[in-house]
Structure formats: C-alpha cells, structure tokens
Chains A and B, each alone.
Chain A
C-alpha cells in the first residue's frame, strides 16, 4: 500500500509541475524580439557560438583513448581471477597485450601522440 501513496505523490507532483509550466504557456503573452533571443541579455554582442570551437586533434585522442579503455575492460576481470586462470590466462593476456602494444607503438612512432 505504501507504493500506492508514493505513486499518488509522484502523480500529484507531476501535475503541479506540469501546471506551473503549462498554464503560463497558455495564458502569458509572448513577444519575442531578436534582443531577447540572444544568449545573454546584458547588452553585450555574442562573438562566438556558445559551445566554442574544438580542435580536430581531440577526436584522434579520443580514438586512441579507446585503445586503453577497451584494454582495461579485459584486463580488470582477468586480474580479479588471475590466480585461478593460471598459466593459460597469463599467456592469453600476454598475447592480447602484445597485439595491443603493437598498435600503441605504431601510434607513438607515427607521431599520433604529438600535439602539434
């Protein structure tokens, strides 16, 4: 029964919030002017898009990050049961890491990690 009263509270809250947002939309007058549409209404002209501009370099860094990120996803559970996996797990992980490190080495030597 407690869940019913909780549900009623949620519904009531949603109704109140919806009414507070909805009624002004119906009743209040709206006069949109270009000045009002600006991001800041403080008299200063906007000089750039609000998100700013990103260097494309970030996207390559993001791709390289996946290399390490995916590695962690596999290495973490491996580390948890490392002793039970024994030599089999060790060899498997070393093969995996060797392939991964080849990619890392490749990025490094090809200058992928240089910022400029």
Chain B
C-alpha cells in the first residue's frame, strides 16, 4: 500500500475570495439568529467583508501566488480586476441598503447572494484552469439570476430573472462544450499547458471550434453583439442596485477572464481571434449605440450604452499586447465608477412613489435637486468621454492602443460611435436642465449610504480623469506578465 501524497494547501492566493465567502456565511448565520435585528446589520457585515477583501487584495499587490496545482493564479492581473470588482460590489451594497428597504424586498439572502456572486467574480478573474473558470462563472451567474428576481412581486423582475437564467444557462452550456472540445484537442484544461499544446498547430479544427464556443460563452457574459439580447430586458427588470452590479462587477470579471484566456491559453491563435473580435467589436459598438438612441427608459438606455462600452473594450482587446490589455483594465475601472454612479442616481430618484425610470421623469430635476442632477450629468458626461472625466481618459488609452497597433479603421468606427452616443446621453441632461416636469415631479429618496456611494463614484471619476497616469501604469504592469 503506497502512502498517499497530501496536496499542499496554500490558502493565501484565495484569501480575498475566502474573506468574501466567510462574510457571506456570517450573513446567513446572523440572519438565522433568533433575536430579530435590523437588516442594516447584515448590510454592514457584507460591506465589511468586501472592504476586507479589498484591503487583502491591496496588501498582496506585487506578490504573485499560485495554488491548487495552478488552478488559482492570483497575480497582479487578478488583483487589479479584484480591486475593480470590490469597488463595484461595495458601491452596489451602499446603493442597495435604503433602496431595498424602500422596495420592501429586504432580506438576509440579498446580502449573502451579493457576497457569493462577488466571490465568484473574484475567482473568475483568478482562474488558471478552464474548470475553475467555469465553476467561478456559475457561482457568479447563479447568484445573479436570483438577485435579478429579487422583487418577487414585480412581473418585470421575475421576467428578467427567468430570461437571464434561461439564456445564461444556454451560454454556459456553449462554454462548457467549448471547454470539452479544447480539452479534447489539447489534452489539458490548464491555461498555460493549453498554450504549450497549441503552439504550432493552432488550425486543428477541434481546437478552432472549441475556441469559437468559448468565445460565444464569453460574448454572452460580456454582453457583446450578437449575444446581447438579454441585456436590455435584464437591466431594465432587475432591481437597480443589482443592475449596477451586473453592469460593472460581472462585466469586469468576464473581461478579466476573457483577457486571461485569450492572452495565455489562446496566444498561439491570436490572428484568428483578433479577426473575429474585430467584427464583434464593430457590431457591438454600433448596435449598442444605435439602439440606445431609441430608448425612452433610462435603465434600458444605460443597458444599451453598456453594450456599446463592451464594444469599446473589445477594441482594446483587438489591439492586444501590454498597451491594449492595460487600456482595457483601466477602462474597466473608469467604467465601473461611472456606470455604478449613473445607476446609483436612478436608485435615489422616485416619482409618484415609484422608481423614476423614464427619461421624461427627470425633467426639471436640476431645479429641485441640483446636486443630484449635477451628479447624473457628470456621470453621463464621463460616459460620453468628455475631458477631464475618467471616461475620456479610458477611451483615450483604448483608442490610442488601437491606433498604435495599426487598427486605424476600427478606431475611426469607435470614435464615430462615441460621437453618436453623445446624443442620447445629452438628451437626459437637456431634460434635467431645460424641461419642466409634467405631473408629479421626481423627488429624492433620502439615503445616506446611497449618497456616500455617489460621492465615492464621483471622486473616482474625477481622480481617474485628472491623474490617470499612475493607474494606467498599474494596469499595464498588471497585464505585462500575461502577454510577455
């Protein structure tokens, strides 16, 4: 009888994820305690877990760690994406405390599920193996499906949850099939070893089909055209704080995993996927922006805008290399603050005791609540890409990387698209500042935590816009070990 070899257990690289999961378990236990207590306590525990994870992430900066036979790779790249995810989750939690109570959907499960989905996102960015990647993706998605249907009494929320679940399960099965074919072609699911196995024979049909199916799965999670159908309905129907999390955190995690898979495992097939992503990027930007013009619902408009922004990030991916990948990471950071802020203003506005979601609802907001209107205007200007806000710098670096890599036409399309996008963003600003409200005016639903979230997001977009260089350097340094 031979002795069993015990695998080494290194929990260090998992520490940020474990902190979030531990906070999730604690929230569940506290929710069970026989003494009735306010749900704010649970929200505070959840926030503490996220902040703890953020601090643990920052403390590990520069220390690359691998664990469980390279299943988890917590390098600077994963840490950078983790920071973005932590900010997204923290902003979403701050926005939700009063919003969920106001909507009478308060429950302990809400905070636990937010923590579980955050843990999934963080693991997704650190996955060094396709199997862990899939597990993390499911942990993230399953929690989000439930969160989207949090308002069980609202038909739109249930519909959003159902649609998200069915289409998401479909996309997951595509991805799983892609993983299976990639494994069949290369004999491994480890990203590094796939790269080694592919080197020199990237035109093996089995591998090409596997790669294509993987990209379909990622296309769904990053809401790229033609896999974007779920986005408007889910963003519109889901509770707004959950929408903010789906739009920022899950997108950051999916892009993080996509960059890692493309630049590490599929390095040998770069010309193939670059050509594919070129087309997807153009389609995603154009369809997102053109469809957004026709929207009268603010959440739906922001959903299409989020599709368009995924397109801009794909431009950075096409550019590739250290500057391309770094620009996408930086874009994710700016996009997270901006989009979370824009959705945050929506959570704080109500009209006639209901959530104010129509663009027309915001008419005259500037007169009644000038600070709120100014905040929304700043977030929208950042989404357009007006200097000196973060959105401008993000676009600048992405387009700059594309030009330097020689993708001139792609950049032209992207710039034209951002000009097109100015129309529908500015329309909201025009409504807020130059129109008089019809019927009941929109009012501010007071929330200290929500206001704090807006302040954090505003500081974020201004700081990133004014002094972008250190953050861009960090983002590029984070991508450097992947692209080599």
A residues with a Cβ closer than 8 A to B are 81, 84-85, 88, 99, 102, 105-106, 109-110
B29 contacts A85, C-beta separation under 8 Å = no
List residues of B (11-44) whose CB comes within 8 Å of A's CBs.
25, 28-29, 32
Across-interface contacts of A102 in B (CB, < 8 A): 25, 28-29
Interchain CA distance A102-B30 in the complex, whole Å? 11
Q: Flag whether B59 is at the interface (Cβ < 8 A).
A: no
Q: Flag whether B6 is at the interface (Cβ < 8 A).
A: yes
A106 contacts B32, C-beta separation under 8 Å = yes
Q: Flag whether B4 is at the interface (Cβ < 8 A).
A: yes
Interchain CA distance A109-B1 in the complex, whole Å? 45
5 A-B residue pairs with CB within 8 Å:
A81-B4, A84-B3, A85-B6, A102-B25, A110-B32
A105 contacts B32, C-beta separation under 8 Å = yes
In angstroms, how far is the closest chain B Cβ from the Cβ of A102? 6
Interchain CA distance A26-B401 in the complex, whole Å? 74
Q: Chain A: which residue is nearest B34 at the CB level? A: A109
B4 contacts A85, C-beta separation under 8 Å = yes
B32 contacts A109, C-beta separation under 8 Å = yes
Across-interface contacts of A88 in B (CB, < 8 A): 6
Across-interface contacts of B3 in A (CB, < 8 A): 84
Interchain CA distance A116-B413 in the complex, whole Å? 61
CB-contact partner of A84 in B4, B25, B28, B32, under 8 A: B4
CB-contact partner of B25 in A81, A99, A109, under 8 A: A99
Extra A-B contacts (5), CB below 8 Å, given A81-B4, A85-B4, A106-B32: A84-B3, A85-B6, A105-B32, A109-B32, A110-B32
Across-interface contacts of B1 in A (CB, < 8 A): 84
Across-interface contacts of B25 in A (CB, < 8 A): 99, 102
In angstroms, how far is the closest chain B Cβ from the Cβ of A8? 38
Across-interface contacts of B4 in A (CB, < 8 A): 81, 84-85
- Most chain B CB atoms below 10 A, which of A84, A85, A105, A106: A106
Interchain CA distance A102-B29 in the complex, whole Å? 8
Q: Chain B: which residue is nearest A85 at the CB level? A: B4
Closest 7 CB pairs of A and B: A109-B32, A88-B6, A84-B4, A106-B28, A102-B25, A106-B32, A102-B28
In angstroms, how far is the closest chain B Cβ from the Cβ of A5? 40
Across-interface contacts of A106 in B (CB, < 8 A): 28, 32
In angstroms, how far is the closest chain B Cβ from the Cβ of A60? 15
Q: Chain A: which residue is nearest B24 at the CB level? A: A102
Interchain CA distance A84-B1 in the complex, whole Å? 10
Across-interface contacts of B6 in A (CB, < 8 A): 85, 88
Q: Chain B: which residue is nearest A91 at the CB level? A: B9
Across-interface contacts of A105 in B (CB, < 8 A): 29, 32
Q: Chain B: which residue is nearest A86 at the CB level? A: B6
In angstroms, how far is the closest chain A Cβ from the Cβ of B420? 48
Interchain CA distance A84-B6 in the complex, whole Å? 10
Interchain CA distance A110-B107 in the complex, whole Å? 12
Q: Chain B: which residue is nearest A106 at the CB level? A: B28
Across-interface contacts of A109 in B (CB, < 8 A): 32
Interchain CA distance A91-B425 in the complex, whole Å? 56
Interchain CA distance A84-B5 in the complex, whole Å? 10
Across-interface contacts of A84 in B (CB, < 8 A): 1, 3-4
Interchain CA distance A45-B125 in the complex, whole Å? 62
Q: Chain A: which residue is nearest B29 at the CB level? A: A102
Interchain CA distance A106-B3 in the complex, whole Å? 39
In angstroms, how far is the closest chain A Cβ from the Cβ of B417? 46
Across-interface contacts of A99 in B (CB, < 8 A): 25
Q: Chain B: which residue is nearest A105 at the CB level? A: B32
In angstroms, how far is the closest chain B Cβ from the Cβ of A55? 20
In angstroms, how far is the closest chain B Cβ from the Cβ of A17? 39
Interchain CA distance A110-B1 in the complex, whole Å? 47
